[in-house]
Structure 1
Amino acid sequence: MPEATATPTIQQASSDARHNAGMARRRTVSLDSHATCPPQTDRPDPVEILLQQDTTRLPYLIPIRHGRMSATAFTFYRGGAAIMAADLSMTPTAGLQTQLCGDAHLSNFGLFKGPDRRLVFDLNDFDETLPGPFEWDVKRLAASLTIAGRHNDLPAKEISKVTRSAVKTYRETMAKAAESNPLQVHYFRLKVEDYRDGLDKQQRKRQDKLTKKAHAKNSLRALKKLTEVVDGRSAIKSDPPLITRMDEMIERNGIDELARFYQEYRSTLPRYRQVLLDQYGVVDIAHKVVGVGSVGTRCLILLLESSNGSPLFLQFKEARASVLEPYLGASEFELAGQRVVVGQRLMQSTSDIFLGWARHRGTATGVEDVDFYFRQLWDGKGSAEVDSMNAKELKRYARLCGGALGLAHARSGDAAMISGYLGDDSTFDHAIAAFADSYADLNDHDYDLHQQAIRSGKIHVVKDI
C-alpha cells in the first residue's frame, strides 16, 4: 500500500515580516526621494517620441491625433504616455513590483457594468499594462490631477490638497488590503453607491445624470446612434474619417480574413462564453476613431445580432507593445492583446465578459500581423466631467481614483510590503504631490514644444474632430 503524502503547501513569510521588509526599503530609497522630477534637459525630445509613434499609425488619422492633443496641456498629457514612461524610467523606485495600468491618468477611471449588471467604478484602460514599480502608476495619476487642477484654474494650495488626497487614499487602501485576506481584496468593488457618498444636493443631481447616462449606454443605444437601415438590415453609418465601413476600405478577401480573425478571438473565450457569443451573428464592421493617445491605431467596431434582432456591439482595438517595455523589458506574452487582457483581469475588480484577444494575419487592416483585444463597445460606461470640477469635487474624485488604483495594485502586488514601505504618515503623499507639481511644469514645457512644432509645420493638425 503506497504511503500517504501530505499536500504540498506554499510557504510565505508572515504579513508582519513582509511589512517590515517593505519598511526596510526606505533605508535604500527614502520616501522623500519620490519628489524628484527629471529636468527639462538631459531627457529625450518629447516631440520626437510622438513622431516616432506616428510612423506605425494610420497616416490619415495622425493630424487628428495631434489636433486632439493640442487642445490643452491636459489633453497633451493624456496622449503623452510614452513621454512620461521615458521620464519615469529616470526616477527612484523601491523595487516593489505590481501589475501596472501603465497610463493611470484620471480620465482612465470610470463607470462600467459588471456581469451582475451593477455599475462599478474602476480603471478602464489597459493598453500599456505591464508589471513594474508601483510608484509609476501613482505618479501618472498624481500628475494628471495636478494638471487637471491647473486647467480648471484652481488655487495652487487646493491643487496640492487634491493630489495629496489621492495618494493618501492609495496609501490607506493599501494598508487595509494588507490586513485583509486575498479573497476580500479580490472581490471588493467600488460601486456607484460609493461614488455618491458625501455629495450635496446639486452634486447628487449631476451624479444621477451621469449614472443614468451610463445605464443607457449599451448596445441598443449604439444601434440607434451608429447604424441605419439599408435594404431592411442594420448597417453601421459611415462618418469619415471618424467611422469608415470596412467594405469601403477592403476587398472581399479582406472580409474573409476578418472572419478567420474573429474565430481566433472566439477561441480565447471560455467555452460558456463561446456558447453565448454564438447566439449572435456578425452583421457589419467598421473602423472607428477613439480617444486621444489612441488615435491613429486600428480600432474596429463589430455589429452582431441575435435571431430576434437583439444587437451586440464589440470593439476590437489594436494592441501594441506597452510604452513601458523599453524601460521594463518585453512582455512575457507574444501577443500584445493577451498582455492587455491578462493585465486587465489582474487589476480590475470585474471585467467585460467578452474580453479576449487575437492576432490578425493578413492585410485587411492595412498591415500584416496586427494584435488586437476585444471587448464590448458600450456596456454601462460613464466618465466624470473632470473639466468642470471645482476643488471639492476634484478632491473627492481624486480619492476615488486613488482607492481604485490601490485596490488594483493590491490584487497583483504584495500589499504588506508596499504598505510597510509607504508608512502611516503623510511623507509619501507630500513627496508625490511635489513630484506632480514639478511634472506639471515639465508637461507645460513639452506642450509648448508641441505647439511650436505645429506652428513650424513640423506637425500637421486637424482640430475639432
Structure 2
Amino acid sequence: MPQTTDQHPDHAPLRGTPSPEHRKEQGRAARTLLPRRSTAAWTPPTDRRDPVAILQAQNASRVASLVPLRMGRMAATPFSFYRGAAAVMAADLGTGPRTDLTVQLCGDAHLANFGGFASPERSLVFDINDFDETHRGPFEWDLQRLVASLEIAGRHRGMSRQERERITLAAARGYRQTLRTFADLGHLDLWHVQLRGDEIVERWNGAVPPGVMDNLRKALRKARTKDRQKARRRLTTLHDDGELRFLSDPPLLVPVRDLFDDAEQARLLGVVTTALAAYGDSLTGARRILLERYRLVDLARRVVGVGSVGTRCWVALLVGRDNDDPLFLQVKEAEPSVLEPYTSASPYPENGRRVVEGQRLLQATSDALLGWNTVHGADDRPHDYYFRQLWDWKVSADLETMLPVAMAAYAQMCAWVLARGHARSGDALAISAYLGKGDVADHSFTEFARRYADQNALDHQALLDAIAAGDVEAVQGV
C-alpha cells in the first residue's frame, strides 16, 4: 500500500535514526570545520563590508519617512546599534568558517529578544520572542549573537570586565549544559518542555539575592495585566459613532485616518479586511472560527523596536461581542532573512510563513492567532506579513537596571530556551558532542563576545561619523 509523507520543507523524511555514537562522531568531526578554540580568535576580514552601507542597503525597501528614526535609534548607544545590526553580524559570521550542525536559528538572538508571554493554555512562559530573521543555519551563530549582546549590554551598563565575563560564561556554559540534558530526552518529551514563570522562580531562586527574586515575582504578576484591555485603555478612544478608534501618537502610532485621504482609507481597510480573512487560512480550523467572530474597526501604523523600524508594521483593532471584547493584532512585514545570502534559500515562497513556521518550531508554545498572508500594497507590490496578538501578558527584562548577578541568571534563562529551540530543530546529541564536556567552548565564546563587542563599538562610531558628515539622516530621541 503506497505511503505519503507530509514533511517539513526543511527536513528530509526520517529513514532510520543514526546510532547515538554515529551522531556523536558527527559532532566531534565538526571540530575540523570550526575548531572550538578558533571562535575566540575572530577578527574582521580585510575585505569586510562597510557596516553603514549594509544598513543603507536594508533601508532601500523600507518606508522612507521612518528610516531616519531607525538610524536615530541605532545611533543612541553601541547596544542599540547592535540590536539593529543583525545584517552586519550575519555578513561577519556568514563569510567565515562554520560547523555543519544546522538548526532553526532565531537569527537575531540578542538578549532583548527574549521575554515572557501567555501560552494558549494561559500560562506565563519565557521564550524567544522575535523571529523576523529565523532561518536554518549553523547553531553557533545564534549563540555568538547572544553572548556578544550580553558583553555589549554589560559595557553599556558600566559593568567591570570580571562581571561581564561571569555573565557571558554563564550563557555559554548554560547553553552547553542544557543542550546535554536535552540530548538525553526522547523526542516527544523534548517537544513538550517549556520554561514557565513559576519554574523560573523555582530554578533560579538560589542564584540571585532575595530582593532580585522579589522583583521578578512582581514583574511576572504585572505581566498578566499587559493584555488587550490595557491596550484598549492605552491605545484607543471612543468615537462619536460609538466605535473604538486608535489614538494618534505620531510617529509611534498613526491611525490610517491621519495617513491617507478618505478614498485611500476605504481602499486600505478593504484590503486589510480581505487580508484578515485570507490570513485565517493559515490558522487551524478552531482558531479560524475564533478570528471570524471579530470584525475590523480601525487600523494604525506602529513603530516598533530598533532594527524593525521602517518595515511596514500595522496594528489592527477588531471588536467581538462589543467594545469590551477587543482584539489587537500586530500585522508586521516580513522581509527575507539577513541570513539567507549566507546559507540557502528559504523553503517557503512567503517570508511571513518563514517567520511563522520558524517560530512554531523554536518556541515551546506560540500565540494562538499566529499566522501569515501576502498583501498587495498601494505600490502594487506584494508584501509578506505575519500576524499575532499585540499584547498578551507580555513582559521583558529591564536591562537598564538589572544587577550583574541578575543578568548572569537572565543569561542562563536565555541560553536555556535557545538550547531547547536548537534541540527541537537540530541534533542535540551531535551539537553536545561538538561542544564537549569541558569549558573549552565556553571560554572561546566568551572571548568572541569581547572581540565582537570591540568591533560593534567601531561600527557604532562609523554610523555616528556618517550622521555627522550628513551622509545618513537620523532623528534621535524618539
Q: What's the counterpart of residue 5 of structure 1?
A: none
Aligned residue for 1:287, secondary structure, equals strand
Could you tell me whether the CA contact under 8 Å between 1:244 and 1:288 is conserved in 2? yes
What pairs up with 1:165-176 in 2 under 5 angstroms? 165-176=170-181
Q: What's the counterpart of residue 450 of structure 2?
A: 437
**Is 1:280–2:294 an aligned residue pair?**
yes
**Is 1:451–2:456 an aligned residue pair?**
no
Distance in 2 (alpha carbons) for counterparts of 1:152 and 1:40: 29
2:63 to 58, 61, 64: 58
Q: CA RMSD, aligned part only? A: 1.5
Change (3 A) 1:284 1:382: same
The residue identity in structure 2 corresponding to 1:100 is L
In the superposition, the TM-score normalised over structure 2's length comes to 0.93
1:102-140 residue CA offsets vs partner (Å, 9 max, x unmatched): 000000000011111111010000000000000100000
Change (3 A) 1:222 1:325: same
Q: What's the counterpart of residue 373 of structure 2?
A: 358
Distance in 1 (alpha carbons) for counterparts of 2:81 and 2:393: 27
Distance in 2 (alpha carbons) for counterparts of 1:226 and 1:240: 12
How far residue 101 of structure 1 moved from its aligned partner, in angstroms, is 0.3
Q: What's the counterpart of residue 433 of structure 2?
A: 420
**Is 1:408–2:421 an aligned residue pair?**
yes
Could you tell me whether the CA contact under 8 Å between 1:67 and 1:463 is conserved in 2? yes
Q: What's the counterpart of residue 228 of structure 1?
A: 237
1:346 to 361, 370, 382: 361
Aligned residue for 1:222, secondary structure, equals helix
Aligned residue for 1:303, secondary structure, equals strand
The residue identity in structure 2 corresponding to 1:393 is A
Change (3 A) 1:200 1:161: closer
Distance in 2 (alpha carbons) for counterparts of 1:395 and 1:9: 39
Could you tell me whether the CA contact under 8 Å between 2:108 and 2:133 is conserved in 1? yes
**Is 1:267–2:277 an aligned residue pair?**
no
Change (3 A) 1:348 1:9: closer
**Is 1:313–2:328 an aligned residue pair?**
yes
Q: What's the counterpart of residue 187 of structure 2?
A: 182
Aligned residue for 2:220, secondary structure, equals helix
Q: What's the counterpart of residue 322 of structure 1?
A: 337
Distance in 2 (alpha carbons) for counterparts of 1:28 and 1:202: 45
What pairs up with 1:138-157 in 2 under 5 angstroms? 138-157=143-162
Could you tell me whether the CA contact under 8 Å between 1:236 and 1:284 is conserved in 2? yes
**Is 1:375–2:388 an aligned residue pair?**
yes
In the superposition, the TM-score normalised over structure 1's length comes to 0.95
Gaps of 5+ in 1: 3-7
Q: What's the counterpart of residue 222 of structure 2?
A: 213
**Is 1:240–2:250 an aligned residue pair?**
yes
Distance in 1 (alpha carbons) for counterparts of 2:151 and 2:237: 43
Distance in 2 (alpha carbons) for counterparts of 1:89 and 1:362: 32
1:158-181 residue CA offsets vs partner (Å, 9 max, x unmatched): 211210110111111111111100
1:401-459 residue CA offsets vs partner (Å, 9 max, x unmatched): 11110001000001111111111000000111111100000000001101101111111
What pairs up with 1:65-104 in 2 under 5 angstroms? 65-104=70-109
Distance in 1 (alpha carbons) for counterparts of 2:116 and 2:221: 11
**Is 1:294–2:304 an aligned residue pair?**
no
Distance in 2 (alpha carbons) for counterparts of 1:177 and 1:330: 29
Distance in 1 (alpha carbons) for counterparts of 2:43 and 2:342: 15
The residue identity in structure 2 corresponding to 1:207 is L
Aligned residue for 1:240, secondary structure, equals coil
The residue identity in structure 1 corresponding to 2:355 is V
Q: What's the counterpart of residue 6 of structure 2?
A: none
What pairs up with 1:382-397 in 2 under 5 angstroms? 382-397=395-410
1:14-45 residue CA offsets vs partner (Å, 9 max, x unmatched): 22321232123224432111223232742000
Could you tell me whether the CA contact under 8 Å between 1:34 and 1:92 is conserved in 2? no
1:231-288 residue CA offsets vs partner (Å, 9 max, x unmatched): 1221011112111112333412222222221111111111110111112111111110
Q: What's the counterpart of residue 48 of structure 1?
A: 53
How far residue 90 of structure 1 moved from its aligned partner, in angstroms, is 2.8
1:181-206 residue CA offsets vs partner (Å, 9 max, x unmatched): 01111111111123323243311232
How far residue 297 of structure 1 moved from its aligned partner, in angstroms, is 0.6
Aligned residue for 1:202, secondary structure, equals helix
Change (3 A) 1:306 1:9: closer
Change (3 A) 1:15 1:282: same
**Is 1:304–2:304 an aligned residue pair?**
no
Deviation larger for 455-464 or 144-153: 455-464
Deviation larger for 146-155 or 38-47: 38-47
Could you tell me whether the CA contact under 8 Å between 1:37 and 1:91 is conserved in 2? no
Distance in 2 (alpha carbons) for counterparts of 1:105 and 1:314: 24
Q: What's the counterpart of residue 124 of structure 1?
A: 129
Could you tell me whether the CA contact under 8 Å between 1:152 and 1:390 is conserved in 2? no
Aligned residue for 1:388, secondary structure, equals coil
The residue identity in structure 2 corresponding to 1:128 is E
Could you tell me whether the CA contact under 8 Å between 2:68 and 2:473 is conserved in 1? yes
Distance in 2 (alpha carbons) for counterparts of 1:109 and 1:367: 35
The residue identity in structure 1 corresponding to 2:281 is S
Q: What's the counterpart of residue 334 of structure 1?
A: 349
Aligned residue for 1:322, secondary structure, equals coil
1:359-394 residue CA offsets vs partner (Å, 9 max, x unmatched): 00241xx55211000000000110001122222111
The residue identity in structure 1 corresponding to 2:381 is E
Equivalences, count: 457
